[in-house]
Amino acid sequence: MKKVFALLIIFCTISSAWSQSTKKIDSLLIELNRVKVDSTKVQLLNELALETYSIDLKTSANYSKKAYSFAQKANYTQGKVAALNHLGRIYVYQTQFDSAILSIKKAIAVSKKHNLNNELITSHIRLAVVYMMTSYHEKSSQELFIALKYAEKQNNLPRQQSIYNNLSALYIKIENIELATKYINLALNLSIKLKNKQGEALAYGNLAVIENLKKNYHNSLEYQKKALSITNELNLHEESANTYVNISDNYFKLKKYQRSIDNSLVALDYFKKVGSTLQLSVIYVDMGKAYFMLKNYNAAYENLNNALQYSAKKNDKGALVSAYLYLSKLDSTKGDYKNALLNYQKHKTMSDSVLFSSKEKVISEIESKYELQKKENENTLLKEREKTSKTRIRNQHIINIFLIAILIVFLLSTVLIITGNFKIKRINNLLIDKNTEIEIKNSKLEEQNEEIELQKSNLENQNNELVEQKKLITSSIKYALKIQMAVLPDKFQMDYLFNDYFIFFKPFQIVSGDFYWLKKVNHHIILAVGDCTGHGVPGAFLSMLGISSLSEVVNKYQSINAADILNRLRNAIKKALKQNNPEMQAEDGMDIALCVLDTQNLTLQYAGAHRPLYLVVENNRYQQLDVFKESSAYQLTTNDTHTLIEIKPDKQPIGVFFKETSFTNHQLQLQKGESIYLFSDGFTDQFNENEVDKFSSKRFKELLLSIQENKMRTQKKILKQTFETWKANAAQTDDVLVAGLKL
């Protein structure tokens, strides 16, 4: 919804009110054949381009090109700019964005040269639209504020209203709701003040988008209907078609699928008629999804394949992601699991953008040691060279002094020659010894330099080997991550079973020792959260074993008793790990919290191995459940509005244990609006930045109580932000997994 409306509403803000009257077009053609003046011909051709724009884009483009050619010959600047601006608009709707930018920039250059400020406003707005549609949001913002500067300078209120609409659409596209609301209210107030019905319709359209982003779909639909009423009244067919696209999307979200299809068909008929491919992939995807929900699989298949065709032409990855997902669902429904898997893999390839990345500690340490050694060696070498240089200078100074002394002695008296020669020999011997000593030191320095170079070479080779090893290991682990993520419940399955839930999953390393598992047996939903011994690759192996064992136990025995499932799971894990002796030390295994939700009777079973279950209820409900006060199996935490009931687990793992007992099966009667949380110990055991305090179960309970007024999706964001703030720059200590659902 936000993609379609946030882009297309922009075009409404810069489009003129156009009449598609055949009589008017015929009249313009007659006038064109009659006139002789080139500038008048340019004006008529530009009018024809505008009138045919909503009927045939190719014809409209031909009129603009002729207008530009005549304007060049006649040196008619305003006609030339109008033709370039309109050509840019047509190129956008034909998804020829490079041509659109080139045409509009030409218009800007001509307008600046001749001080055509009103034309500059139009050009900058249209260039902003192109940048917005190609996701150059900063450039788009710059162009719009340039246009606003010109409009304010001229006190041109209609153009200011148009720019406010575009700014709102831009901020909708990047989901800055605050700024989007600010500018659309400015636009709406100006439209009402100017009695601009078209601008008013556009403002209602953007308000509909904002309500849609807030998931207020009924409010959004009301705004869209207001906008549609005005565009139909004004015969603004293009704007009406865009509105029908977004009304269709809203009806889909409100689960009114036939109404969604009816509105999509109206929009499809228009865009096919004018030859615009910009919206076709989105419309076909919306229709395919709606037909799928109505179980009209042939129609769904036809529309989704049409969506693939148009999405590939304009590289619309968003439409491709949705089309492949629903094609996978269609193939699965028909029993064609091979194509279902193929289309799902294409969906995943399109939707996955970034894999987890991390630096290995050992590489960092080696690099640090290498840099430190390198600096130390360089410092040593510099000191030795400095020392050698000082010695040479000092020796040279001594030689000079003695030579002068010898000369003085020779001039003073020949008597002193013998004594002087003796002294010279003595000094020369000292110098020879000194020079010999210097040469020995130089030789040692050269040997040290060679040794340093050799060590440097060895370190570089070791570093290169470690880098290659790291790449191989990281590549293997990333592939293991894909396998691990494939066996976890996918979002489609979770969305199908739960209306309001979240999964906060943050592995310590690339792969995780924590896992979650989901299974529906008739009207019972089994949900489990496991925490395996260790983390990283060893923990991931155990998590895969836990997932496969859970699936085997439930599928084989069809049990819906929580304690019975854990008892059988323990036996399966012990058998798989060959843990035959109860006296042996339990090194491998897992902690787990498992619940069975009866969706018909709204009852809950829970059994746990070292991992509790939290149930959050309103205080007026808690006052009727005195059993929680009396039993040691429960612990209560309360604030002003809600009570958190901790259902304690059995203090034994899933694995070998010296004193094994059957797991306890807790049964509770639930009510709508109550919240359930299953989690590993990664969140509560996380140290803060000083690595002194853990987050603790007490803080975790208080946090959950404080966020009960929020939807589960918002609760997840709060949990994530709280975790990152607490951890700050400290290292993550363990895998983190929290699952929450609201009845």
Q: For 678-711, what is each residue's pLDDT tens digit?
A: 999 999 999 998 877 999 999 999 999 999 999 9
47 CB neighbour count, 10 Å cutoff: 18
Q: How far apart are CA 413 and CA 416, in angstroms?
A: 6
* Nearest CA among 594, 645, 596, 646 for reference residue 617: 645
Domain boundary among 429, 463, 482: 482
Same domain? For 493 and 454 the reply is: no
Q: At which residue do the structure tokens 């307008």 appear?
A: 111
Query: Domain count of the chain?
Result: 3
- Residue 263 within any structural domain of the chain: no
Residues 371 and 233 in one domain: no
Which residue range is the domain that position 163 belongs to? 2-243
Do both 500 and 521 map to the same domain? Answer: yes
- CATH number of the domain residue 119 falls in: 1.25.40.10
Q: Which amino acid is at 407?
A: L
Q: Which residues pair with 524 in a beta bridge?
A: 521, 598
Longest dimension (CA), the chain: 134
Q: Which of 245, 301, 246, 297 is nearest to 268 (CA)?
A: 245
Identify the helix (H) or strand (E) that includes residue 731. none
- Do 23 and 47 have their domain in common? yes
Q: Tell me how far the alpha carbon of residue 407 is from its chain's centroid.
A: 87
Q: Are residues 605 and 713 in the same domain?
A: yes
Cβ contacts of residue 76 below 8 Å, gap of 6+? 38, 39, 42, 70
Is residue 217 domain-resident? yes
Under 8 Å between Cβ of 515 and 522: no
Do residue 507 and residue 436 come from a single domain?
no
264: Cβ contacts below 8 Å, ≥ 6 apart: 244, 245, 248, 283, 286, 287, 290
Contacts of residue 34, Cβ cutoff 8 Å, sequence gap at least 6: none
- H or E element: which one contains 656? none
pLDDT confidence of residue 366: 34
pLDDT value for 715: 97
- Say yes or no: 473 and 503 in one domain: no
d(CA 728, CA 689): 6
Residues 568 and 470 in one domain: no
Kindly state whether residues 168 and 50 are assigned to the same domain.
yes
Decide if 197 contacts 233 (C-beta within 8 A). yes
Both structure tokens of 45: 């051709």
* pLDDT value at residue 676: 97
| Residue 531: strand pairing partners | 514, 591
305 within some domain: no
The angle subtended at Cα 193 by Cα 192 and Cα 198, nearest 5°, is 40
Please write down the HEC assignment for all residues of 222-277. Answer: HHHHHHHHHHHHCCCHHHHHHHHHHHHHHHHHCCCHHHHHHHHHHHHHHHHHHCCC
Q: 438, 461, 482: which is the final residue of a domain? A: 482
**DSSP secondary structure code for residue 415 in this structure:** G
Q: Quick one: pLDDT at residue 358?
A: 31
Mean pLDDT in runs of 10 for the chain (743 residues)? 40 38 76 80 84 83 88 86 88 86 91 87 91 88 92 90 90 88 91 88 89 88 90 84 89 92 88 75 90 92 88 75 88 85 84 40 36 49 65 71 72 69 68 69 72 74 72 66 81 91 93 93 95 83 92 91 96 88 66 96 96 93 68 90 95 90 94 95 92 91 96 97 93 94 93
Whole-model pTM: value is 0.42
Which of 288, 282, 212 is CA-nearest to residue 254? 212
Q: Do 497 and 473 share a structural domain?
A: no
The pLDDT of residue 634 is: 92
384, part of any domain = yes
The answer to whether residue 311 is domain-embedded is no
355 domain residue, yes or no = no
Please report where in the chains the tokens 């279902």 appear, as a residue: 340
For the record, the structure tokens of 16 come out as: 């003129």
Amino acid at 688: N
pLDDT, the chain, mean: 83
Q: What is the CATH number of the domain that holds 586?
A: 3.60.40.10
Token pair belonging to 206:
């953007």
Q: Are residues 370 and 461 in the same domain?
A: yes
Sheet strands side by side (includes 675-679)? 501-506, 736-742, 675-679, 613-618, 642-647, 634-638
Distance CA 387, CA 441 (A): 10
3-class DSSP assignment, residue 506 = strand
Residue 303 is assigned to a structural domain of this protein: no
Last residue of a domain, one of 191, 224, 243: 243
One domain for residues 196 and 52: yes
Per-residue pLDDT at 28: 81
Does residue 334 fall inside a structural domain?
Answer: no
Chain segment 308-354, per-residue pLDDT in tens: 888 777 667 778 888 888 898 898 888 888 888 888 888 888 776 32
